[in-house]
Structures are given as structure tokens and as C-alpha cells.
Amino acid sequence: MAAVPAVLRSEWTKIRTVSSTVWTLACALIVTVAMGAALSAVLKSTFNDLGEVERATFDPTFVSFSGMVLGQLAMVVFGVLVVGTEYSSGMIRTSLAAVPQRATFLFSKVAVAGALALGVGLVTSFLSFFLGQALLGEHRTTIGADNVLRAVVGGGLYMGLIAIFSMGVAAMLRSSMLSLGILVPFFFLISQILSAVPKAKEVARYFPDQAGAKIMQVVPDAMGSDKAPYGPWGGLGIMLVWVVASLLGGYLVLKRRDA
């Protein structure tokens, strides 16, 4: 058996020695923080133009995380590339010839890449929060307020889980292009559009991103968003189910199919 620590070390070497890692993760951080800061600044100046409901449920924490909508796409790309390049380069055959145990190989890879994504996600969410609050002026909240810390840590968890979910999907589809072609439109368009359509949003609220994003809200149903039949942790739980399902699917594909 290839020892798990050895496989973890090897996967870490693989991740840190390709430039796409730095690019995608830096992109996720910068885009999320910058867009969150920009929207916080805009909302500060247009606060009085907001509707009644929005003002009543104004959630400064959630506002500072507005950049996640775009930043999560970089996380998706990171997750897909970590797994997908094994297939596109043919490296998977070399890897599996060295680690014949499929479970050890896949879950070590996911553990290393997931931990890295989680770390970057946490840094991103704390930066977004503090920068966003600084720009919100008199509408800001503090990290010590009720549930705020949970939301900020949750933002980091959300980004990490999005990346891990993408890794599972890429392992199932065994192709970077195919995975990106499905995941990016899904998160950026389909999920966003469906969540605005009556009826469809009943389903869309169980999508991984919609459910998981609840953890970042401090005020329930923040900013006039729809009432969800689950709480913040319930939402994250739904997202976790998606992540586990995608990893399980990826593992079964890796185990059953010829490399």
C-alpha cells in the first residue's frame, strides 16, 4: 500500500509546482475581495435608495461577500484543474501506476487541494469582511456581533466546498473542458436565473451554491432574499451532501473505469 502521508506529500508537490494553482487561487481571492469592496462602497452611497424590505433586512456581512458570486468561479476552475489535468495530460496513468489504490489516490488529492482551497477561502472571507465593513461606513457591523463570526468562517468553508465539489465533478467527467463547460454556466447562470424564477426557485434553493450561501447571512433572509426552509447550518449541510455525492461519484468512476 502506498502510505497515505507519502501520497499527500506527493500531491502537495504536484499542486505547488504548477502555475495554474497560484493563478486560480489568487484570482479567487482578488476578485472576491475587490468585488465585495466595490459593492459595499456602492451600497453605502445608495443605501437610501434601497427598498423597504432591503433596508429592513440589510445585512452588512452578506453585502461584503457579494464578490463570491464571481470569485467562486475561480475556485471552480481550481478544483476542476487539479483533477482534470491528470486526465488531459495523461498523468493519471503514471499516477495510478504508482498508487494503484484508487481511494488513496483520489482522497489524498482532494484532501490536499481541498485544504489549500479552504485556507485561501478563509483568508478571502476575512479580507472581504473587514474591507467591506470599512467601506460600508455607518451601516457596518463588527466581527464580535451575533452570528457574524459564523458567517465569516462560513464564507471560507463555502469557497473550500465549492472547490471540492468541482474536484468530484471533474473526477466523474474525467475532463477539464467538460467539467468547466458544465460547472461555470451552472453556477454563474443557471443557478442564479432559476433562483429568480417562481416555482423553479423551490428547486434551486437546494442547489449546492444556493444552499451553501445561507451560511454567509447574518440576518435571516438577508437583503430581501427568499425564505428558505433551512437555517444557515442546514444550508451548509445540504451543500455537504452535494460534495459527498460528487466525491463518491468521482471515486466510483475512478474505480470502475479503465484509466
Partner 1 sequence: MIEAVGLTKRYGAKTAVYNLSFQVRPGVVTGFLGPNGSGKSTTMRMILGLDRPTAGRVTIGGHPFRQLPNAPRQVGALLDAKAVHGGRSARNHLLSLAQLAGIPARRVDEVLGVVGLQDVAKRRSKGFSLGMGQRLGIAAALLGDPQVLLFDEPVNGLDPEGILWVRNLMKKLAAEGRTVFVSSHLMSEMALTADHLIVIGRGQLLSDMPVKQFISANSADFARVRTPETEPGLREKLSGVLTEAGGQVLSEPDGALRVTGLPLPRISDLAHGADVRLWELSPHQASLEEAYMRLTQGAVDYRSTDDKLAHLQAPPQPGQPGYGMPGHGMPQPPVAPDAPGQGGWYAPPPPGQNPPGPNPYGQAPAGPNPYAAPQPPAAPSDTTEDAR
Of the ranges 31-39, 96-104, 165-173, 193-201, which one interacts with partner 1 (CB under 8 A)? Answer: 96-104
Pick the binder of partner 1 from 33, 56, 96, 211 (CB under 8 A). 96
Between 19 and 46, name the residue whose CB sits nearer to partner 1: 19
Q: Which residue has the cell 483520489?
A: 106
Q: Which span (40-48, 56-64, 85-93, 113-121) binds partner 1, by CB under 8 A?
A: 85-93
Shortest Å distance, C-beta 245 to partner 1: 24
Question: Out of 27, 149, 182, 259, which residue is the one contacting partner 1 (CB under 8 A)?
Answer: 259
Stretch that binds partner 1, among 11-19, 25-33, 37-45, 207-215 (CB under 8 A): 11-19
52 touching partner 1, by CB under 8 A? no
Instruction: Give the binding range for partner 1 (CB under 8 A) out of 8-16, 56-64, 149-157, 199-207.
Output: 8-16
**Sign of the alpha-carbon torsion through 30, 31, 32, 34:** positive
* 6 touching partner 1, by CB under 8 A: yes
HEC profile of the chain: CCCHHHHHHHHHHHHHCCHHHHHHHHHHHHHHHHHHHHHHHHHHHCHHHCCHHHHHCCCHHHHHCCCHHHHHHHHHHHHHHHHHHHHHHCHHHHHHHHCCCHHHHHHHHHHHHHHHHHHHHHHHHHHHHHHHHHHHHHHCCCCCCCCHHHHHHHHHHHHHHHHHHHHHHHHHHCCHHHHHHHHHHHHHHHHHHHCCCCCHHHHHCCCHHHHHHHHHCCCCCHHHCCCCCCCHHHHHHHHHHHHHHHHHHHHHHHHHCCC
7 binds partner 1 (CB under 8 A): yes
Question: By CB under 8 A, is residue 231 in contact with partner 1?
Answer: no
> Do 88 and 176 meet the contact criterion of CB atoms below 8 Å apart?
yes
Over the window 99 to 138, marking each residue x when it contacts partner 1 by CB under 8 A and - when it does not, the resulting string is xxx-------------------------------------
Q: Using the rule CB under 8 A, which residue among 26, 45, 93, 189 binds partner 1? A: 93
Q: Which residue has the cell 432574499?
A: 225
Binding mask 201-220 for partner 1 (x = CB under 8 A): --------------------
CA distance 187 to 200: 15
Q: Does the footprint of partner 1 cover residue 70 (CB under 8 A)? A: no
Q: Which of 13, 53, 189, 203 binds partner 1 (CB under 8 A)?
A: 13
- Site residues for partner 1 per CB under 8 A: 1-3, 6-7, 9-11, 13-14, 17-20, 85-86, 89-94, 96-101, 258-259
